[in-house]
Structure 1
């Protein structure tokens, strides 16, 4: 009988807090050490947008918040332990073609991505990593242990799955610690047959380069759809923004930088044009937006967010063509010689966006703006949000906010 892998993705997307006025911008020269990561960046963006479309089709009017970066890293760890058709499906699901890139280069790219995201001299906190838990009476292959350590700084922890409650506590404590207490009780109802649990976690906390003044935040209407209006705490700032009006896709794109090399992209479709925007979403469009963002003055209003989302990724990954992993035909013989298959993939994300502490308010006072009234950009109906690490062009988190009050 096949053992069962229970796979969980624990992700804290990001918490935007602005304490103090750190207006320094560090531009690191990544040209030399960004070569491996540049070979995978188009693929990771394509994976992100493909998965987004699948999640959106299945969202049933709920917010979408997920970390494509963490999911793709987790799948690439599985690549190291999979063989035959299982292996091919994961490669293709990740948008890789071995006629264009060698497998070694894929792992080298993810290794470099992880290193640059977590080890650089950032002015924000970003922790991304893996936790692998294997039943304590199963021996993992030494080659797998060496490879996951070399490429992904990951280790396998022996776990007593024969005692499901004890195993749950071990895994949940680990994830809670790694996500700074943001994600608790990730795994529950573990099966006594479980052999392996894989987790990945992502935690981001950054300060806006130019914060919002909390005294300007007030309650306003947010139009969920034609029949539903909710009250939200709306943040306001007048000043300089990077923005672009995309007439082809009928949307307004606003870029807001954090201190350091992370940026948030907010995309507001024109009323009634949400579908066109979603259908047109692609790596090329994201690239085009980045190229066309121009610095102008504007009055921007964005709701405060404190949201979480939990998904089972088994079916969405199936729609990407990754199906054999979950069947008795799964070939994970690169992990251990015992037969294993995947039973469950859980992905949880927490998203917090706020204006920050009151001491940040003074930072907005000295910003000179033209006398004429700048245009208003009000995010008061469903919009998209991307958290992007500019130095490695990767999407850390992607969200579609349909209802900011939805829990």
Structure 2
């Protein structure tokens, strides 16, 4: 993981002596105030993210009960948002329904994404959060300028025509962009290009945040972690005591671990009693998420024991999105992307890759979504709260003002390799 970075994102640093960095001349705290339609879009993205996360988990767990999972709802939504601008008729309607965008016009969706992208990247000087979009299309393929302009203006998408006929060079360009935008955490998104491929839409997200109060490296030690099958293993577990937002109910207990000045948080949700992480995931929806967030309260001296973990995750989203109702977009017969080109196009694949590294210093995370189109052809107190993460758990990285979920995942088997 990268060394501690200089200040880079929200600012409340005038009195934070427990943090490792300080700013002698702090800027005012920056907050996001969303208009009604932008708030509606964030809620739609969160709802879509919960559905996608649950669908992926259900499909994966048919074959494996111990895989770590993480997706970026924001990355998938932004990539699909660009593609949505090229859709029409039933293809567009199915995308609206799957993405929970009902009630928003195309213009409102684009304007809201533009505002959200700008706001999320300008908050906290101790957190790096970067969003990038790109469209690569086959040189000579007739793409409607209106489609390119919309995605360039609203999503700040880089647009380039490249030689898809030379697949080696095309893949080098596309994968090189991915590696660059994720700071080499995800080096490759595509292994090959079909001879019928005509366009690739890309979204990349990169996050690097130092904890507001770091875990003590000397306090990390081996502690037992109990797996879903009843077995256990000692894993490297971090330790700290801090004043944190905390909540508990019959289903789970949870803490919010803030990054930097607190604009971004990792929410760690530990199943309670006989509940497991699957029970928790099954209850994820927008209403419950809002209710749970309202129940957090600040507690002094919360003792956190959290495993270090680092993993990568990859999933092809075609079947998951079909199960969510987005069917025509993947059909070589029924897809309607006539707002991209007058030549017939359909989505051949949507690939999503993520990376996360959680250690004593903070968190580094990245996500890439590729859509390939083809043609046919603390205060002192005596009372302590103990939060010991010693079994499979759920986590989310969120932004405080918008409640946007940037990443969400489940750790069944915490592992950490240098």
Task: Please give the range of the TM-score, normalised by the shorter of the 2 chains.
Answer: 0.7 to 0.9
Alpha carbons 1:16, 1:206 under 8 Å: kept:
no
Question: Is it true that 1:215 corresponds to 2:225 in the alignment?
Answer: no
Per the TM alignment, residue 330 of structure 1 is displaced from its structure 2 partner at its CA by 0.9
Q: CA deviation at 1:147?
A: 0.6
Match of 2:129 in 1: 126
Q: Which residue of 2 aligns with 1:21?
A: 21
Higher relative contact order (CA 8 A, sep 6+): 1
> How far has the Cα of 1:227 moved from its partner?
3.6
- Name the structure 2 match of 1:94: 99
Q: How big is the shift at 1:18?
A: 7.8
Q: What's the CA shift for 1:238?
A: 1.6
Matched, 1:323 2:333: no
Does structure 1 residue 235 correspond to structure 2 residue 238?
yes
1:40, 1:26 → 2: CA distance?
Answer: 27
1:68 aligns with 2:73: yes
Looking at structure 1, the residues matched to 282 and 40 of structure 2 have their Cα atoms a distance apart, in angstroms, of 26
Given that residues 330 and 346 in structure 2 are in contact (C-alpha distance below 8 angstroms), is that contact kept between their aligned partners in structure 1?
yes
Q: Counterpart of 1:336?
A: 341
Is the CA contact 2:310–2:416 (under 8 Å) kept in the aligned structure 1?
Answer: no
Q: 1:301 aligns with which of 286, 298, 305?
A: 305
TM-score (norm 1): 0.88
- The range that moved more, 74-83 or 285-294, is 285-294
- Structure 1 equivalent of residue 9 of structure 2: none
Q: Gaps (5+ residues) in structure 2?
A: 7-19, 363-377
Which residue does 2:51 correspond to in 1? 50
Tell me if 1:311 matches 2:312: no
2:157 corresponds to 1:154: yes
Q: Deviations over 1:164-202 (max 9, x none)?
A: 111111111111111111111221122222111122111
Give the match's secondary structure for 2:215.
Answer: coil
**Corresponding residue for 1:361?**
none
Please say if 1:113 is aligned against 2:108.
no
1:299-329 Cα distance to aligned partner (Å, 9 max, x none) = 1100111111000011111111111111122
1:237 and 1:40 mapped to 2: Cα distance? Answer: 36
- Equivalent residues of 1:15, 1:351 under 8 A apart: no
- Per the TM alignment, residue 344 of structure 1 is displaced from its structure 2 partner at its CA by 1.1
Cα gap change, 1:217 to 1:406, in 2 (>3 Å): closer
Say whether residues 1:395 and 2:408 are aligned partners: no
Query: Does structure 2 conserve the Cα–Cα contact (< 8 Å) formed by 1:312 and 1:345?
Result: yes
CA offset at residue 128 of structure 1?
1.1
1 CA distance for matches of 2:2 and 2:256? 17
Residue 35 of structure 1: CA displacement?
4.5
- Residue 277 of structure 1: how far off its partner (Å): 1.8
Residue 410 of structure 2 is aligned to residue 371 of structure 1: no
Structure 1 SS opposite 2:121: helix
Change (3 A) 1:341 1:146: same
Moved more, 22-31 or 141-150: 22-31
Q: How many residues align?
A: 379
Give 1:6's aligned residue: none
Query: In the aligned structure 2, how far is the partner of 1:312 from the partner of 1:80?
Result: 22
What's the counterpart of residue 263 of structure 1?
Answer: 265
Aligned to 1:41: 42
Q: What TM-score results when the alignment is normalised by the length of structure 2?
A: 0.85
Secondary structure in structure 2 of the residue aligned to 1:30? coil
SS in 2 for 1:392: coil
Q: CA 1:348–1:22 in 2, change beyond 3 Å: closer, same or farther?
A: farther
Shift of residue 120, structure 1, vs aligned partner: 4.1
Determine if contact 1:17/1:353 at 8 Å carries over to the other structure. Answer: no
* 204-213 or 51-60: bigger deviation: 51-60
State whether residues 45 and 395 of structure 1, in contact with CA within 8 Å, keep that contact through their aligned partners in structure 2: yes
Partners of 1:81 and 1:333 within 8 A in 2: yes
